[in-house]
Amino acid sequence: MKTTRTFLAVWLSLVTVAFSATGKPVKVFILAGQSNMQGQGIVSSMAEMKEEKPGTLATMLKDPAKAPLLKTWVNAKGEWNEGRDDVWVWDVNEFGNRHGRLEFGYGWNLGSRMWFGPEMQFGHLMGEQFDNQVLIIKTAWGGRDLYKDFRPPSSGGETGKYYTEMLGTVNKVLGDLKGQFPSYAGQGYEITGFVWWHGWNDFCSPDKGTPEYEKNLTNLINDVRRDLKVPKLPVVVGEFTGPWGTDAKDLPAAAATIRKAQKAVTEKPEFAGTIKFVETHGFVRTAEQSPTKEGYHEFKNGETYYLLGDAFGKAMKSLLAK
Protein backbone atom coordinates (compact mmCIF):
# COMPACT_ATOMS: atom_id res chain seq x y z
CA MET A 1 0.00 0.00 0.00
CA LYS A 2 2.84 2.39 0.89
CA THR A 3 4.52 1.69 -2.48
CA THR A 4 1.25 2.38 -4.30
CA ARG A 5 0.79 5.69 -2.48
CA THR A 6 4.36 6.72 -3.23
CA PHE A 7 3.93 5.88 -6.90
CA LEU A 8 0.66 7.83 -7.04
CA ALA A 9 2.23 10.87 -5.38
CA VAL A 10 5.16 10.81 -7.83
CA TRP A 11 2.83 10.37 -10.79
CA LEU A 12 0.63 13.31 -9.71
CA SER A 13 3.73 15.41 -9.22
CA LEU A 14 4.98 14.59 -12.71
CA VAL A 15 1.58 15.35 -14.23
CA THR A 16 1.50 18.74 -12.47
CA VAL A 17 5.01 19.60 -13.62
CA ALA A 18 4.25 18.52 -17.19
CA PHE A 19 1.08 20.59 -17.28
CA SER A 20 2.87 23.60 -15.84
CA ALA A 21 5.56 23.30 -18.49
CA THR A 22 3.27 22.76 -21.47
CA GLY A 23 0.00 24.41 -20.37
CA LYS A 24 -1.01 27.59 -22.12
CA PRO A 25 -0.29 30.73 -20.10
CA VAL A 26 -3.12 32.67 -18.48
CA LYS A 27 -4.26 35.58 -20.66
CA VAL A 28 -4.38 38.67 -18.46
CA PHE A 29 -6.49 41.73 -19.23
CA ILE A 30 -6.53 44.93 -17.16
CA LEU A 31 -9.70 47.03 -17.05
CA ALA A 32 -9.25 50.45 -15.45
CA GLY A 33 -11.13 53.69 -14.86
CA GLN A 34 -13.50 55.25 -12.37
CA SER A 35 -17.06 54.55 -11.16
CA ASN A 36 -18.47 53.75 -14.61
CA MET A 37 -15.84 51.05 -15.13
CA GLN A 38 -16.68 49.71 -11.67
CA GLY A 39 -19.97 48.62 -13.19
CA GLN A 40 -23.25 50.43 -12.67
CA GLY A 41 -25.42 48.16 -14.83
CA ILE A 42 -28.48 46.67 -13.13
CA VAL A 43 -29.32 42.99 -13.59
CA SER A 44 -32.76 43.25 -11.98
CA SER A 45 -34.35 46.05 -9.97
CA MET A 46 -36.75 43.78 -8.10
CA ALA A 47 -34.63 43.35 -4.96
CA GLU A 48 -34.13 47.02 -4.09
CA MET A 49 -36.85 48.83 -6.06
CA LYS A 50 -39.58 46.21 -5.52
CA GLU A 51 -40.52 46.35 -9.20
CA GLU A 52 -38.86 45.60 -12.52
CA LYS A 53 -37.76 48.79 -14.21
CA PRO A 54 -37.04 49.33 -17.91
CA GLY A 55 -33.43 49.01 -18.97
CA THR A 56 -32.42 46.14 -16.68
CA LEU A 57 -31.01 42.86 -18.00
CA ALA A 58 -34.17 41.15 -16.79
CA THR A 59 -36.33 43.29 -19.09
CA MET A 60 -33.80 42.86 -21.88
CA LEU A 61 -34.11 39.08 -21.50
CA LYS A 62 -37.89 39.34 -21.97
CA ASP A 63 -37.51 41.26 -25.24
CA PRO A 64 -37.44 38.79 -28.18
CA ALA A 65 -35.30 41.21 -30.19
CA LYS A 66 -32.67 41.62 -27.45
CA ALA A 67 -32.70 38.31 -25.59
CA PRO A 68 -30.47 36.55 -28.19
CA LEU A 69 -27.64 38.95 -27.27
CA LEU A 70 -27.53 37.31 -23.84
CA LYS A 71 -27.43 33.71 -25.09
CA THR A 72 -24.09 32.94 -23.42
CA TRP A 73 -25.33 34.40 -20.14
CA VAL A 74 -28.26 31.99 -19.70
CA ASN A 75 -28.77 28.23 -19.60
CA ALA A 76 -31.17 26.04 -21.56
CA LYS A 77 -33.97 26.96 -19.15
CA GLY A 78 -33.48 30.65 -19.82
CA GLU A 79 -32.07 31.22 -16.33
CA TRP A 80 -28.87 33.09 -15.55
CA ASN A 81 -25.75 30.92 -15.69
CA GLU A 82 -23.78 30.47 -12.49
CA GLY A 83 -20.70 31.92 -14.20
CA ARG A 84 -17.75 30.57 -16.13
CA ASP A 85 -14.67 28.99 -14.58
CA ASP A 86 -12.43 29.60 -17.60
CA VAL A 87 -12.50 33.35 -16.86
CA TRP A 88 -11.34 34.67 -13.51
CA VAL A 89 -11.88 38.19 -12.18
CA TRP A 90 -9.91 40.09 -9.53
CA ASP A 91 -11.72 43.35 -8.76
CA VAL A 92 -10.82 46.25 -6.48
CA ASN A 93 -12.53 49.55 -5.76
CA GLU A 94 -12.90 51.90 -2.80
CA PHE A 95 -15.32 49.48 -1.12
CA GLY A 96 -12.97 46.51 -1.09
CA ASN A 97 -11.99 43.69 -3.40
CA ARG A 98 -13.41 40.45 -4.68
CA HIS A 99 -12.08 37.64 -6.83
CA GLY A 100 -13.34 34.42 -8.35
CA ARG A 101 -14.94 33.18 -11.54
CA LEU A 102 -16.72 35.49 -13.96
CA GLU A 103 -20.28 36.12 -12.82
CA PHE A 104 -22.57 38.92 -11.68
CA GLY A 105 -21.42 40.84 -8.63
CA TYR A 106 -18.28 42.63 -9.84
CA GLY A 107 -20.14 45.94 -10.08
CA TRP A 108 -19.62 48.94 -7.84
CA ASN A 109 -21.38 47.18 -4.92
CA LEU A 110 -19.00 44.24 -4.79
CA GLY A 111 -20.70 40.92 -4.15
CA SER A 112 -24.25 42.04 -4.92
CA ARG A 113 -25.54 40.08 -7.91
CA MET A 114 -27.74 43.07 -8.75
CA TRP A 115 -24.78 44.82 -10.41
CA PHE A 116 -22.35 44.19 -13.25
CA GLY A 117 -19.94 46.11 -15.45
CA PRO A 118 -18.19 45.86 -18.81
CA GLU A 119 -16.17 42.89 -17.53
CA MET A 120 -19.15 40.54 -18.02
CA GLN A 121 -19.53 40.57 -21.80
CA PHE A 122 -15.84 41.38 -22.27
CA GLY A 123 -15.04 38.27 -20.24
CA HIS A 124 -17.44 36.10 -22.21
CA LEU A 125 -15.85 37.19 -25.48
CA MET A 126 -12.32 36.59 -24.21
CA GLY A 127 -13.34 33.23 -22.78
CA GLU A 128 -14.66 32.19 -26.17
CA GLN A 129 -11.59 33.58 -27.93
CA PHE A 130 -8.97 31.55 -26.05
CA ASP A 131 -8.38 27.99 -24.94
CA ASN A 132 -6.19 29.57 -22.25
CA GLN A 133 -7.48 30.49 -18.85
CA VAL A 134 -8.41 34.21 -18.86
CA LEU A 135 -7.91 36.60 -15.96
CA ILE A 136 -9.46 40.07 -15.78
CA ILE A 137 -7.93 42.43 -13.23
CA LYS A 138 -10.29 45.37 -12.78
CA THR A 139 -8.98 48.45 -10.97
CA ALA A 140 -11.61 51.19 -10.80
CA TRP A 141 -12.25 53.75 -8.10
CA GLY A 142 -15.13 56.21 -8.13
CA GLY A 143 -14.53 59.93 -8.58
CA ARG A 144 -10.86 59.68 -9.63
CA ASP A 145 -9.43 61.92 -12.32
CA LEU A 146 -6.51 61.41 -14.68
CA TYR A 147 -5.08 64.87 -13.97
CA LYS A 148 -4.17 64.01 -10.35
CA ASP A 149 -5.44 60.61 -9.12
CA PHE A 150 -4.26 58.47 -12.04
CA ARG A 151 -1.53 60.91 -13.05
CA PRO A 152 1.18 58.93 -14.89
CA PRO A 153 4.85 59.46 -14.01
CA SER A 154 5.72 60.93 -17.42
CA SER A 155 3.28 63.82 -16.91
CA GLY A 156 5.55 65.26 -14.22
CA GLY A 157 4.64 66.34 -10.74
CA GLU A 158 3.46 63.79 -8.20
CA THR A 159 2.53 60.41 -9.63
CA GLY A 160 -1.11 59.69 -8.94
CA LYS A 161 -1.93 57.45 -5.99
CA TYR A 162 -4.27 55.38 -8.14
CA TYR A 163 -1.79 54.97 -10.96
CA THR A 164 0.54 53.46 -8.37
CA GLU A 165 -2.25 51.37 -6.83
CA MET A 166 -3.40 50.13 -10.23
CA LEU A 167 0.06 48.83 -11.11
CA GLY A 168 0.62 47.58 -7.59
CA THR A 169 -2.60 45.57 -7.73
CA VAL A 170 -1.64 43.96 -11.02
CA ASN A 171 1.78 42.98 -9.70
CA LYS A 172 0.34 41.69 -6.42
CA VAL A 173 -2.22 39.48 -8.13
CA LEU A 174 0.18 38.13 -10.73
CA GLY A 175 2.75 37.44 -8.01
CA ASP A 176 0.29 35.26 -6.09
CA LEU A 177 -1.85 33.54 -8.72
CA LYS A 178 -1.91 30.23 -6.84
CA GLY A 179 -2.97 31.93 -3.64
CA GLN A 180 -5.74 33.92 -5.33
CA PHE A 181 -6.89 31.17 -7.68
CA PRO A 182 -6.14 27.70 -6.28
CA SER A 183 -6.82 25.97 -9.61
CA TYR A 184 -3.91 27.83 -11.19
CA ALA A 185 -1.42 25.15 -12.23
CA GLY A 186 1.76 27.12 -12.70
CA GLN A 187 1.33 27.62 -16.44
CA GLY A 188 2.54 31.22 -16.33
CA TYR A 189 0.77 34.28 -17.69
CA GLU A 190 0.81 36.84 -20.47
CA ILE A 191 -0.34 40.43 -19.96
CA THR A 192 -2.47 40.59 -23.08
CA GLY A 193 -4.51 43.81 -23.09
CA PHE A 194 -5.51 47.02 -21.30
CA VAL A 195 -8.94 48.73 -21.42
CA TRP A 196 -9.35 52.34 -20.27
CA TRP A 197 -12.87 53.80 -19.82
CA HIS A 198 -12.91 57.07 -17.95
CA GLY A 199 -13.46 60.83 -18.18
CA TRP A 200 -16.09 62.23 -15.83
CA ASN A 201 -13.90 63.89 -13.22
CA ASP A 202 -11.61 65.48 -15.80
CA PHE A 203 -14.70 66.77 -17.61
CA CYS A 204 -15.68 68.36 -14.28
CA SER A 205 -12.28 70.11 -14.21
CA PRO A 206 -12.34 72.31 -17.34
CA ASP A 207 -9.42 74.44 -16.15
CA LYS A 208 -7.03 71.57 -15.33
CA GLY A 209 -8.18 68.06 -16.17
CA THR A 210 -9.87 68.78 -19.50
CA PRO A 211 -7.03 70.64 -21.30
CA GLU A 212 -4.42 68.11 -20.12
CA TYR A 213 -6.40 64.98 -20.94
CA GLU A 214 -4.76 64.16 -24.27
CA LYS A 215 -1.25 64.56 -22.86
CA ASN A 216 -2.02 62.60 -19.71
CA LEU A 217 -3.74 59.74 -21.55
CA THR A 218 -0.81 59.45 -23.96
CA ASN A 219 1.57 59.27 -21.02
CA LEU A 220 -0.66 56.81 -19.17
CA ILE A 221 -0.52 54.35 -22.07
CA ASN A 222 3.23 54.71 -22.51
CA ASP A 223 3.91 54.41 -18.79
CA VAL A 224 1.65 51.39 -18.30
CA ARG A 225 3.40 49.63 -21.19
CA ARG A 226 6.80 50.50 -19.77
CA ASP A 227 6.01 49.54 -16.17
CA LEU A 228 4.39 46.25 -17.19
CA LYS A 229 7.26 45.58 -19.61
CA VAL A 230 4.92 45.03 -22.58
CA PRO A 231 5.97 47.72 -25.11
CA LYS A 232 3.20 47.02 -27.64
CA LEU A 233 0.48 46.10 -25.18
CA PRO A 234 -2.89 46.27 -27.02
CA VAL A 235 -5.01 49.10 -25.60
CA VAL A 236 -8.72 49.85 -25.99
CA VAL A 237 -9.89 53.36 -25.08
CA GLY A 238 -13.62 53.67 -24.45
CA GLU A 239 -15.19 57.02 -25.27
CA PHE A 240 -16.26 59.10 -22.28
CA THR A 241 -19.99 58.48 -22.13
CA GLY A 242 -22.16 60.05 -19.43
CA PRO A 243 -25.83 60.80 -20.23
CA TRP A 244 -25.19 62.19 -23.72
CA GLY A 245 -26.25 59.84 -26.48
CA THR A 246 -26.43 60.36 -30.22
CA ASP A 247 -27.98 63.83 -29.89
CA ALA A 248 -24.81 65.94 -29.74
CA LYS A 249 -26.57 69.29 -29.29
CA ASP A 250 -26.71 68.76 -25.51
CA LEU A 251 -23.06 67.74 -25.22
CA PRO A 252 -21.12 70.21 -23.01
CA ALA A 253 -17.97 71.69 -24.54
CA ALA A 254 -15.71 70.11 -21.90
CA ALA A 255 -17.20 66.67 -22.56
CA ALA A 256 -16.65 67.11 -26.30
CA THR A 257 -13.04 68.07 -25.59
CA ILE A 258 -12.47 64.90 -23.54
CA ARG A 259 -13.95 62.73 -26.29
CA LYS A 260 -11.84 64.39 -28.98
CA ALA A 261 -8.73 64.02 -26.84
CA GLN A 262 -9.36 60.30 -26.34
CA LYS A 263 -9.82 59.72 -30.04
CA ALA A 264 -6.78 61.86 -30.92
CA VAL A 265 -4.56 59.73 -28.67
CA THR A 266 -5.61 56.55 -30.44
CA GLU A 267 -4.76 58.12 -33.81
CA LYS A 268 -1.17 58.97 -32.91
CA PRO A 269 1.26 57.36 -35.42
CA GLU A 270 3.36 55.80 -32.67
CA PHE A 271 0.34 53.78 -31.52
CA ALA A 272 -0.63 52.53 -34.97
CA GLY A 273 -1.98 48.99 -34.96
CA THR A 274 -1.82 48.61 -31.18
CA ILE A 275 -4.65 50.80 -29.92
CA LYS A 276 -8.32 51.26 -30.71
CA PHE A 277 -10.90 53.91 -29.86
CA VAL A 278 -14.45 52.71 -29.17
CA GLU A 279 -17.33 55.15 -29.62
CA THR A 280 -19.83 54.55 -26.84
CA HIS A 281 -22.34 57.40 -27.05
CA GLY A 282 -24.64 55.31 -29.24
CA PHE A 283 -25.13 52.86 -26.36
CA VAL A 284 -26.68 55.47 -24.06
CA ARG A 285 -30.41 55.13 -23.48
CA THR A 286 -32.71 57.82 -22.12
CA ALA A 287 -33.71 58.15 -18.49
CA GLU A 288 -37.21 56.97 -19.44
CA GLN A 289 -35.72 53.77 -20.90
CA SER A 290 -33.59 53.14 -17.82
CA PRO A 291 -33.83 52.04 -14.18
CA THR A 292 -32.69 55.38 -12.70
CA LYS A 293 -32.20 59.04 -13.53
CA GLU A 294 -28.47 58.85 -12.70
CA GLY A 295 -27.09 60.26 -15.94
CA TYR A 296 -23.44 60.28 -14.99
CA HIS A 297 -23.65 56.48 -14.71
CA GLU A 298 -25.53 56.09 -18.01
CA PHE A 299 -28.78 55.85 -16.01
CA LYS A 300 -27.53 52.45 -14.72
CA ASN A 301 -28.92 50.91 -17.88
CA GLY A 302 -28.11 47.19 -18.13
CA GLU A 303 -28.31 47.12 -21.92
CA THR A 304 -25.81 49.99 -22.10
CA TYR A 305 -23.30 48.13 -19.94
CA TYR A 306 -23.75 44.94 -21.94
CA LEU A 307 -23.09 46.84 -25.17
CA LEU A 308 -20.03 48.54 -23.68
CA GLY A 309 -18.46 45.24 -22.68
CA ASP A 310 -19.32 43.77 -26.06
CA ALA A 311 -17.71 46.67 -27.95
CA PHE A 312 -14.59 46.65 -25.76
CA GLY A 313 -14.23 42.91 -26.25
CA LYS A 314 -14.63 43.07 -30.02
CA ALA A 315 -12.16 45.92 -30.25
CA MET A 316 -9.63 43.93 -28.23
CA LYS A 317 -10.14 40.88 -30.45
CA SER A 318 -9.44 42.99 -33.53
CA LEU A 319 -6.17 44.22 -32.01
CA LEU A 320 -5.09 40.72 -31.02
CA ALA A 321 -5.81 39.49 -34.53
CA LYS A 322 -3.15 41.90 -35.78
Phi first, then psi: what are they for 268, rounded to 5°? Answer: -65, 135
Give 13's pLDDT tier (boundaries 50, 70, 90).
very low
Residue 228: is its pLDDT beyond 70? yes
The fraction of the chain above a pLDDT of 90, given in percent, is: 87
Residue 178: is its pLDDT beyond 90? yes
At residue 7, the pLDDT reads: 42
Let me know if 163 is exposed, middle or buried by CB neighbors in 10 A (0-12, 13-18, 19+).
buried
Residue 78: is its pLDDT beyond 90? no
In one letter, which amino acid is 96? G
DSSP string, 24-53: PPEEEEEEEESHHHH--EES-SHHHHSSPP
Q: Domain 23-321's class?
A: alpha beta
Give 249's pLDDT tier (boundaries 50, 70, 90).
confident
Rounded distance between C-alpha atoms, residue 41 and residue 53, angstroms: 12
Predicted TM-score of the model (pTM) = 0.92
pLDDT digits (tens, 9 = 90+) for 190-199: 999 999 999 9
At residue 100, the pLDDT reads: 98
At residue 16, the pLDDT reads: 41
The fraction of the chain above a pLDDT of 70, given in percent, is: 93
At residue 322, the pLDDT reads: 75
DSSP H helices in the chain: 2-22, 35-38, 46-49, 57-61, 119-129, 161-174, 177-180, 200-203, 209-227, 253-266, 302-321
Rounded distance between C-alpha atoms, residue 103 and residue 116, angstroms: 8
Higher pLDDT, 252 or 78: 252
Residue 2: is its pLDDT beyond 50? no
Residue 12: is its pLDDT beyond 60? no
* Cβ–Cβ < 8 Å for 60, 302: yes
CB count within 10 Å of CB 12 equals: 10
Cα first-last separation, the chain:
55
Q: Is 181 helix (H, G, I), strand (E, B) or coil?
A: coil
Give 306's pLDDT tier (boundaries 50, 70, 90).
very high
Q: Which of 19-23, 241-245, 283-287 has the lowest mean pLDDT?
A: 19-23
Give 231's pLDDT tier (boundaries 50, 70, 90).
very high
At residue 11, the pLDDT reads: 41
Higher pLDDT, 134 or 48: 134
**3-state DSSP percent of the chain in helix, strand and coil, to 5:** 45, 15, 35
DSSP string, 263-281: HHHHT-GGGTTTEEEE--G
Residue 144: is its pLDDT beyond 90? yes
Segment 148-173 mean pLDDT: 98
Residue 20: is its pLDDT beyond 90? no
At residue 250, the pLDDT reads: 87
For the chain, what is the mean pLDDT? 92
Give 273's pLDDT tier (boundaries 50, 70, 90).
very high
